[in-house]
């Protein structure tokens, strides 16, 4: 699943570069001695705006569809078809039937590589309890309307992840966008849902305006407004991603034999160093630098990453094993923030899950600073 967010962030990076270049290019053209060259400013702005709005919406839509696709495929590996959420199996059946009714479109465009026989075979396997089975993912991600908040809620609700936009209001990325990018004070508890609703509506309306009215939109976005729109989509996508990852980790690693639950030493055990350092009791299983770790915050999703360093009796160590003496606990530095609520569980895994963690290449292991 991690690749879906990586792809979106890369695309949004290109859009950021485009926006940053606009001011410089427009300023040069506006100051040009040739009147014809100066006329290019307004022409260029219209076309760049249209391309920007279309690309921004398309990137978000593709991210949502790809994330749902990957999540559904992972569920199909772990869960029997009959045990999937009823909303998901109902939609899968209905939309698979609709795909067959549109059989002339199969094999083309977004249905490339798919045939009517594939749809029937997959559906037959699903309904007959075959193991393994494959979902018709085109049926799972099918949607009839643009991705406003209600449509986004509905698509993830089919997976059993309800009210995702409302939950995103409390997510770390959304709160950071509201405070930092908007220059506003931190809201009490959550960003108002109306903010997400209005922002998505605006992007959808602008995209539709471009699609139906060509390159003569009523109102162009200024450079700053374009940057704000990119930042909003990035924060919303990161928030949605964290919630989906949280559900995946809870369902598939909540009771895993590879999990190592880390408990805080006492109420004075952190977090320190801007939330990234805690002191834990010696775990029953091996703990090591580079180990994947996560925390699930029920209302907002997951925080996850890797252990960056370990500290015991004032010295950096690479691992904690069975014969390690740790009467004063073990200092653990993470590459994500530990929540202020000490009741949240910090979980380390003996093995990485490639759906969530990138392959371990190198881990910077700085010394844990003084508390």
- Where do the domains of the chain lie? 2-253, 259-349
- SS3 of 139-167: the string is HHCCCCCCCCHHHHHHHHHCCCCCCHHHH
pTM over 0.85: yes
Most confident of 161-165, 222-226, 313-317: 161-165
Mean predicted lDDT score pLDDT of the chain: 88
Give me the pLDDT at residue 365, please: 43
Beta bridge partners of 294: 304, 347
The distance from CA 261 to its chain's CA centroid, rounded to whole angstroms, is 25
Asked if 44 and 26 count as a contact pair (C-beta separation under 8 A), the reply is: yes
Pick from 34-48, 81-95, 154-168, 273-287: least confident = 34-48
Share of the chain above pLDDT 70, in %: 89
Q: What digits encode the pLDDT tens for the residues 57-80?
A: 999 999 999 999 999 999 999 999
Indicate the helix (H) or strand (E) that contains 312.
strand 301-312
Buried b (16+ CB within 10 A) or exposed e, 341-356: eeeeebbbbeebbebb
User: CB count, 10 Å around CB of 231?
Assistant: 17
What is the three-class DSSP state of 168?
helix
Q: What digits encode the pLDDT tens for the residues 8-61?
A: 999 999 999 988 887 766 666 666 666 666 666 667 778 888 899 999 999 999
Buried b (16+ CB within 10 A) or exposed e, 35-53: eeeeeebeeebbebbbebb
Give me the pLDDT at residue 211, please: 85
Give me the pLDDT at residue 188, please: 76
Confidence band of 5 (pLDDT split at 50, 70, 90): very high
Give me the pLDDT at residue 163, please: 95
Give me the pLDDT at residue 251, please: 92
Q: Please return the burial class of 110, using the count of CB atoms within 10 Å of its CB with bins 0-12, 13-18 and 19+.
A: exposed
Q: How far is it, in rounded angstroms, from Cα 323 to Cα 166?
A: 47
Indicate the helix (H) or strand (E) that contains 231.
helix 223-253
Give me the pLDDT at residue 61, please: 97
Superfamily of segment(s) 259-349: Translation factors (2.40.30.10)
Give me the pLDDT at residue 173, please: 92
Q: What digits encode the pLDDT tens for the residues 268-321?
A: 787 888 889 999 999 989 999 999 999 998 778 899 999 999 999 989 999 999
The residues near 221 (Cβ < 8 Å, ≥ 6 apart) are: 49, 52, 53, 206, 229
Q: What are phi and psi of 267, to 5 degrees?
A: -70, -15
Give me the pLDDT at residue 181, please: 64
Q: Shortest CA distance to 188 belongs to which of 178, 197, 198?
A: 178
Q: How far is it, in rounded angstroms, from Cα 73 to Cα 65?
A: 12
- Tell me: pLDDT of 186 over 80: no
Q: What digits encode the pLDDT tens for the residues 190-223?
A: 899 999 999 999 999 999 988 887 655 567 788 8
Beta bridge partners of 357: none
Give me the pLDDT at residue 37, please: 63
Residues 88-112: what's their mean pLDDT? 87
Residues 110-118: what's their mean pLDDT? 85
Higher pLDDT, 371 or 277: 277
Residues 73-91: what's their mean pLDDT? 96
User: CB count, 10 Å around CB of 112?
Assistant: 8
Residues 153-158: what's their mean pLDDT? 97
The residues near 225 (Cβ < 8 Å, ≥ 6 apart) are: none
């Amino acid at each position: 699943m991690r690749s879906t967010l990586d792809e979106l962030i890369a695309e949004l990076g290109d859009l950021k570069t485009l926006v940053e270049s606009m001011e410089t290019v427009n300023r040069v053209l506006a100051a040009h001695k040739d009147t014809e060259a100066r006329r290019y400013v307004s022409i260029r702005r219209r076309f760049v705006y249209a391309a920007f709005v279309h690309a921004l919406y398309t990137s978000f839509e593709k991210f949502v569809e790809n994330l749902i696709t990957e999540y559904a495929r992972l569920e199909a590996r772990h869960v029997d078809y009959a045990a999937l959420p009823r909303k998901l199996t109902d939609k899968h059946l209905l939309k698979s039937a609709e795909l067959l009714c549109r059989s002339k479109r199969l094999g083309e465009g977004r249905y490339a590589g798919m045939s009517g026989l594939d749809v029937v075979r997959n559906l037959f396997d699903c309904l007959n309890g075959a193991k393994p089975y494959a979902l018709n993912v085109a049926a799972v991600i099918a949607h009839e309307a643009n991705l406003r908040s209600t449509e986004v809620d509905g698509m993830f609700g089919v997976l059993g992840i309800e009210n995702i936009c409302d939950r995103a209001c409390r997510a770390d990325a959304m709160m950071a966008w509201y405070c930092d990018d908007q220059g506003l004070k931190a809201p009490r508890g959550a960003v108002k849902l109306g903010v997400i609703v209005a922002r998505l509506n605006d992007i959808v309306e602008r995209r539709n305006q471009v699609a139906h009215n060509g390159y003569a939109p009523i109102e162009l976005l200024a450079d700053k407004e374009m940057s704000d729109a990119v930042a909003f989509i990035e924060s919303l996508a990161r928030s949605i991603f964290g919630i989906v990852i949280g559900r995946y980790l809870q369902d598939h690693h909540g009771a895993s034999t590879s999990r190592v639950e880390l408990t805080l030493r006492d109420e004075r055990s952190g977090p320190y160093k801007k939330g990234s350092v805690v002191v834990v009791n010696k775990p029953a299983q091996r703990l090591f630098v580079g180990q994947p770790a996560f925390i699930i915050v029920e209302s907002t999703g997951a925080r996850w990453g890797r252990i960056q360093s370990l500290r015991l009796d004032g010295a950096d160590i690479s691992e904690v094993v069975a014969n390690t003496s740790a009467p004063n606990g073990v200092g653990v530095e993470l590459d994500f923030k530990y929540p202020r609520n000490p009741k949240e569980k910090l979980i380390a895994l003996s093995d990485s899950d490639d759906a969530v963690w990138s392959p371990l290449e190198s881990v910077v292991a700085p010394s844990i600073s003084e508390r």
